[in-house]
Amino acid sequence: MTSSDPLRLILASGSPRRRELLGLTGLAFEVVKVEIDENPYPGEAAQDYTVRLSHTKAQAALDSGLTEGLILAADTTVADGNAILGKPADPDEARTMLRQLRGRVHQGYTALTLLNAANGQRVTEVAITGVPMRDYTDDEIEAYIATGDPFDKAGSYAIQHAGFHPTELTSGCYANVVGLPLCHLLRALRVFGVVPKPDVPLLCQQHHRYTCDVSASILAVPYENRDKR
């Protein structure tokens, strides 16, 4: 960190994927698991939903008794048009979602919130990635469901699953679809004077074996000038 008074970083998430991605920054952090109601409101748009949940998770971490530090909370969801596709309740729901998504492009949303526990300062970023799914077969769906992997994933899939390899993503933020858009996080951290030492975009691309075409454009725009759609 470049700040003369480094902030303690707290990840408000039990997700191993977010812990793994945050680890690429080289920043020391602690984990506080929070439980909230993740049901969308009737008619709630995907972006509004993810922002609301990231705010709620950050507040839940604060309410757990934190009085100092920088809380990081995030929420990721999958949207097919106006429909929010959450985590499947059972194999039938997973099967329905995967069939609905195959061979088409849908949107992956992640909202992340940084909340300074000491003074209440809060910043929020939203990443949106168009995700083209390959035309996988019914047999592939059944084999993937049998692994148990879909059941804690929005939209019933993990983009990084090597066995299933559900998408044909070649453009946009890969880490967003995994669950933590790192360049958006870097931009938000700057607001608090926190700048990781490693080349995080490079490490992210190497980690995912993916050539990113958006990292430079995201990082070139200050937080206050970002697209607020």
Active site residues: 75
Rounded-to-integer distance, Cα 193 and Cα 171, Å = 30
Q: With beta carbons less than 8 A apart as the criterion, state whether 214 and 182 touch.
A: no
Residues facing 116 on adjacent strands: 70
Rounded-to-integer distance, Cα 78 and Cα 104, Å = 13
Beta strand pairing status for 9-11 and 105-116? unpaired
- CA of residue 51 relative to chain centroid, distance: 11
